[in-house]
């Protein structure tokens, strides 16, 4: 297949790019800086003229748009890190622009192509933030959206992607949970405290954290590429969500460290402002659609997922 990937140098994008090249696909990889891919080693020694790296902003017009023609599928993974700064009005606009406007730009680009040059599939990242906070209520792909900032952002993000269906594309919306893997993500932010013997749960500890191992993120993305009957929302979470308390205890056990020094919710709100809701909200998300499709999770349980990353 010939694939176009935005956010190719991100935490998920780097691993996905390596896997696509390993299995023999041709990839056009869009990144803000080509050196990001060189530094990560994602592209080194993998392709025989099957990789084209482009520099550009997917939310802005550019020469990259010319390369969308005659691709089989587009995967939009780009987005400003949600916890990259305090949520000022300006930073919120940056978060939204990097996601919603980037997808709108891609869909507009696709719509301007002759029908015989358009990709057949758009696989677009979204997030479990779509659901908002719901305590211990189980949430699946049929659950309604929440009303907070992240939920509204995800609704707009997904609507921008779904607009591609008017151009004849199959659209898959990936609602991604907390990704566990090497080299980044939430785990990289938690490890220093645990390794210094001062780790513990964030907030009350009873809030659910919808986690997933990075290998299963890749597995579900590849499944969405290969199975034409898959469309609409797809939860990318493990089938066994845990509370923040369980996450901290399991991480401590894997690292042979205590997990008793919790961070009060008030301290998180003081430090992060409105962004603290990403850590304090509770989302017991179930990957109902993946289970129905028969996907076999490599890491359905948290302890084995953490051991795979850390040991």
pLDDT in tens, 54-109: 999 999 999 999 999 999 999 999 999 898 788 999 999 999 999 999 999 999 99
Question: Do the domain assignments include residue 68?
Answer: yes
pLDDT in tens, 212-270: 999 999 999 999 999 999 999 999 999 999 999 999 999 999 999 999 899 999 999 98
Question: Do the domain assignments include residue 207?
Answer: no
Q: Residue 167: which residues within 8 A CB-CB, separation 6 or more? A: 107, 110, 111, 115, 118
Question: Do the domain assignments include residue 257?
Answer: no
- The token pair at 121 is 């599939």
Question: Do the domain assignments include residue 252?
Answer: no
Contact 42, 63 (CB under 8 A): no
- Which structural domain range is residue 58 located in? 2-179+212-238+283-297
Question: Do the domain assignments include residue 174?
Answer: yes
Of 4, 10, 11, the closest CA to residue 29 belongs to 4
Contact 5, 16 (CB under 8 A): yes
Q: CATH number, domain at 107?
A: 3.40.50.720
Would you state the pLDDT for residue 186?
Answer: 83
Question: Do the domain assignments include residue 259?
Answer: no
Weakest mean pLDDT among 82-86, 128-132, 176-180, 243-247:
82-86
Question: Do the domain assignments include residue 98?
Answer: yes
The three-state DSSP-derived secondary structure of the chain is CEEEEECCCCHHHHHHHHHHHHCCCEEEEEECCHHHHHHHCCCCCCCCCCEEEEECCCCCCCHHHHHHCCCCEEEECCCCCCCCCCCCHHHHHHHHHHHHHHHHHHHHHHHCCCHHHCCCEEEEEEEHHHHCCCCCCEECCCCCCCCCHHHHHHHHHHHHHHHHHHHCCEEEEEEECEEECCCCHHHHHHHHHHHCCCCCCECCCCCEECEEEHHHHHHHHHHHHHCCCCCEEEEECCCCCEEHHHHHHHHHHHHCCCCCCCECHHHHHHHHHHHHHHHHCCCEECCHHHHHCCCCCCCCCHHHHHHHHHC
Question: Do the domain assignments include residue 267?
Answer: no
Please count the structural domains in the chain: 1
pLDDT band of residue 13 (cuts 50, 70, 90) is very high
């Amino acid at each position: 297949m010939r694939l176009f990937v935005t956010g190719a140098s991100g935490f998920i994008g780097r691993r996905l790019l390596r896997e696509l090249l390993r299995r023999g696909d041709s990839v056009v990889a869009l990144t803000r800086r080509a050196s990001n891919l060189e530094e990560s080693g994602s592209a080194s020694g993998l392709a025989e003229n099957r990789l084209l790296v482009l520099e550009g902003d997917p939310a802005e017009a550019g020469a990259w748009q010319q390369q969308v023609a005659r691709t089989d599928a587009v995967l939009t993974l780009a987005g400003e890190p949600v916890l990259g700064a305090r949520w000022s009005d300006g930073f919120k606009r940056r978060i939204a622009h990097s996601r919603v406007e980037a997808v709108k730009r891609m869909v507009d680009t696709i719509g301007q192509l002759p029908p015989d040059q358009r990709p057949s599939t758009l696989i677009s990242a979204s997030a479990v933030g779509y659901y908002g906070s719901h305590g211990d209520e189980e949430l699946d792909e049929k659950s309604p959206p929440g009303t907070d900032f992240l939920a509204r952002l995800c609704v707009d993000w997904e609507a921008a992607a779904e607009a591609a269906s008017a151009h004849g594309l199959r659209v898959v919306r990936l609602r991604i949970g907390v990704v566990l893997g090497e080299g980044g993500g939430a785990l990289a932010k938690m490890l220093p405290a645990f390794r210094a013997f001062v780790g513990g749960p964030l907030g009350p500890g009873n809030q659910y954290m919808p986690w997933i191992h990075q290998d299963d993120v890749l597995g579900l993305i590849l499944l969405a590429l290969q199975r034409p009957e898959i469309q609409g929302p797809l939860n990318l979470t493990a089938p066994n969500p845990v509370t923040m308390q369980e996450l901290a205890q399991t991480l401590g056990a894997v690292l042979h460290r205590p997990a008793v020094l919790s961070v009060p919710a008030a301290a998180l709100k003081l430090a992060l402002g409105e962004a603290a809701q990403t850590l304090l909200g509770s989302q017991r998300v179930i990957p109902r659609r993946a289970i129905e499709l028969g996907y076999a999770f490599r890491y359905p349980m948290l302890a084995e997922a953490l051991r795979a990353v850390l040991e």
